[in-house]
Structure 1
Amino acid sequence: MLDLHTHVVPAATPFLAELSTSDSRWARLHRGPETGDVVVAGKVFRTIRRVAWDLDHRRETALAAGCAGQLLSAMPELLAPWAPPGQGLAFARAFNDWLASELPSHGGFFTGLGVVPLADPDAAAALLGEIADAGLSGVELPATPPIAPLHTPAWSGFLDEAERLGLLLFVHAVGGPAAAHYPHPMAANGVLFPLSTGAAVGGLITTGALARRPGLRVLASHGGGSLITELPRIDFLRETTPELRELMPEPATASARRLWYDPLLFDTGLLRHLVATVGADRVVLGTDYPFMPVDPVAFLADPTLPDGLADAVRRTNPAALLAALGRTLKGAEPR
């Protein structure tokens, strides 16, 4: 299987000495032999296992579990949407340089996604050329960037450049400021993650941003979140609102079929509905490795799913997306 939604925490986080003392919000990794604490704003945000930072150990562990390759993206807390533009750019370059230098050292088992300074969309767009030249496959973005949503004019140049370079944009769910109003982080996760992804992707659809960029490659985390419930409503409103039809040159369902999705919907019925709406070839394996306490896609073994879907999600579809990006993973065949 090929896992396209996995996260990594560099052992040297946060890389730059000036960042380690400049602001406590920069994530810091305090490592032990087998586990480490990610500290944000003076508090332990998450305790992680060695596989999160030791890529040799990670490859061995993943191979033993039957995985043939992984697409690495930063732990979302490393994206630092609050960072001032200059610090955000310095960190992005440090992270991207580290990841690009690591990829050749592990037998072709990994490919990776870079990060960009989120408080400066123009600088983010300018960095995409460096990301492509470094051999990275694309960029991970939070579903709610700090300056403006991805569908707004602020990000138009970024989207244009990502399309021109053929890079993948991995839109990752976030809790955002609203998470502070929940009594536990997992309560916020359950409610806000689907909403953030659905809003981000829905915005790209309803503004015509996707239809105007037919070559733009977008992977939506967590099955697109609430998008699957938005599409019928959007198309109803498009049919009955001439102004919306001017914004949207094609139905929302047609734009939705331009995206890729991981299967992290946690329900076979929802997955069947997603597949029926966007096509069985648009769902690629993503497990949120190594942060889920149990296998979050065990339901792919459900016999009520369409024949061949599980194998397509685990193998064929992610391989096809990587090939479209000009990437192949050369990990050993699953055991």
Structure 2
Amino acid sequence: MLVDTHAHLLPYDYPADAPECFPRMEPVDGDSARTLLFGALRFRARDVFFNAERRIEAQDASGVDVEVLSPMPPLLRSDLPPADGLSLARHVNEFTAALCDAHPHRLLGLGMVPLQDPESAAAELTAIRDQGLHGVEIASNIAGESIGDERFLPFFAEAERLGLAVFVHAMPTATDRLPQSAMGTYVVGLEGALAASSLVAGGTAAKCPDLRIAFSHAAGGYPLMLPRAQYFWSGSWNEGPVDLDRAVAPDDGPSPLDHARRFYYDTLVFDHRALRYLIDLLGPDRLLIGSDFPAMPRETPTARTLRAMNLPADTLHRITYDNAYTWLGLPPPT
């Protein structure tokens, strides 16, 4: 059995009287695809983005049993006026709930919120839960602001209280330190690391110990930063015992690795050596299958690289199936 926890959708259309800042979905002549127009973005969306039957066909073709569907990241526009952001989120969430209702055992939905207005975002989480959605997708930064900033803490505390999962999707920010062509590669890795680090350094991870939160693309460079953070905390190499004479930044709370091992990470890292590192450092109970489908093609079959690593059967089952339901707070189907 296999659950793909990082798969995206797009609504088929938007209300005719929607604000001018809303996206549009225009038909493509002679094709079932539609073109997403959102600001400067033009994206040709195949029908698998919005058609439940086509999604099930695609699952069957690639060996996927269940998808966790979240909005395409460009919809997570934190520069919209809060009222428009809330209206957009509600439209997308209604579409997501309806799409998943077509096949409730194979399509599990995540909503979205206007996190540029943390109070409104937190209040909307109850509606997301009541629609039958299992969590919420957020961007790794909110208009360039760290999600670990204290003003977002009430949102995370409410998600924790309601038992909703959170999926943090890496989103590029404006930067002149890399060429524009690097936005979808290197900047995504940087964003994941900054998002995960900010939740620990800003105190959110400590204040919301039961928050079930996952990061796209294994939180980018975050796992490689952890051994250094652990050394500065403990003063010892190789996760050895604490040496207070050598520790640079000790504290009484959980260690950097303890914090990191409460998060979840998808496996979209493209290399068996990277997967091995994640399993060894973070543990097999922290990893989720992710593909970014249909924005990216899946491996055929899905998780082929992971399956070729000769992992113990129970480890493979955790990563491909059980962990997804634990993260979502659901009992795995028998």
TM interval, short-chain normalised: 0.7 to 0.9
**Displacement of 1:243:** 9.2
Q: Which residue among 218, 221, 237 is the counterpart of 2:232?
A: 237
Aligned equivalent of 1:102, options 79, 99, 104: 99
**Hey, what's the Cα distance between the residues in 1 that align with 2:121 and 2:220?**
25
Unaligned runs of 5+ in 1: 331-335
RMSD after superposition = 2.4
Specify the SS of the correspondent of 2:172: coil
The answer to whether the 8 Å contact 1:27/1:77 transfers is no
Equivalent of residue 265 in structure 2, options 231, 244, 261? 261
* Cross-structure match for 1:333: none
What does residue 306 of structure 1 align with? 311
Normalised TM-score (structure 2): 0.87
Q: Which residue of 1 aligns with 2:242?
A: none
Q: Is the 8 A contact 1:208 1:249 kept in 2?
A: no
In structure 2, the partner of 1:2 is 3
Corresponding residue number in structure 1 for 2:184: 189
Structure 1 residues 256, 190: CA separation in 2 closer, same or farther (over 3 Å shift)? same
Q: CA deviation at 1:63?
A: 2.3
- What is the Cα deviation at residue 312 of structure 1? 3.1
SS of residue paired to 1:177:
coil
1:200 is displaced (CA, Å) by 0.5
Query: What's the TM-score once normalised by structure 1's chain length?
Result: 0.87
Post-superposition shift, 1:127? 0.9
Poorly superposed stretches of 4+, deviation over 6 Å = 240-243
- Secondary structure in structure 2 of the residue aligned to 1:214: coil
Q: Offset at 1:114? A: 0.7
Higher RCO, 1 vs 2 (CA within 8 Å, ≥6 residues apart): 1
Structure 1 pair 154/326, CA: closer, same or farther in 2 (3 Å)? same
Deviates more, 1:160-169 or 1:170-179: 170-179
Task: Please point out which of 41, 56, 64 is paired with 2:61.
Answer: 64
Query: How much does 1:328 deviate?
Result: 5.3
Residue 202 of structure 2 aligns with an amino acid whose one-letter code is T
Q: Between Structure 1 and Structure 2, how many residues are aligned?
A: 318
* Cα separation, partners in 2 of 1:278 and 1:97, compared to 1, 3 Å: same
Report percent identity of matched pairs: 30
Contact 1:7 1:288 survives alignment (8 Å)? yes
**Which string of whole-angstrom CA distances, capped at 9 and with x for unpartnered residues, describes residues 127-170 of structure 1?**
11111122111110000112732211111111111110111110
- Are positions 1:199 and 2:194 aligned together? yes
Question: Is the CA contact 1:68–1:329 (under 8 Å) kept in the aligned structure 2?
Answer: no
* 1:1-335 correspondence to structure 2 within 5 Å: 1-12=2-13, 14-15=14-15, 17-19=17-19, 22-23=20-21, 26-32=22-28, 33-44=31-42, 46-146=43-143, 148-178=145-175, 182-184=179-181, 187-239=182-234, 244-246=249-251, 249-295=253-299, 297-303=303-309, 306-308=311-313, 309-322=315-328, 325-326=329-330
Deviation at 1:181, TM superposition (A): 5.6
Go from structure 1 to structure 2 and tell me whether the alpha carbon gap of 1:281 and 1:5 turns closer, same or farther (over 3 Å shift): same
Query: Is the deviation greater in 293-302 or in 106-115?
Result: 293-302
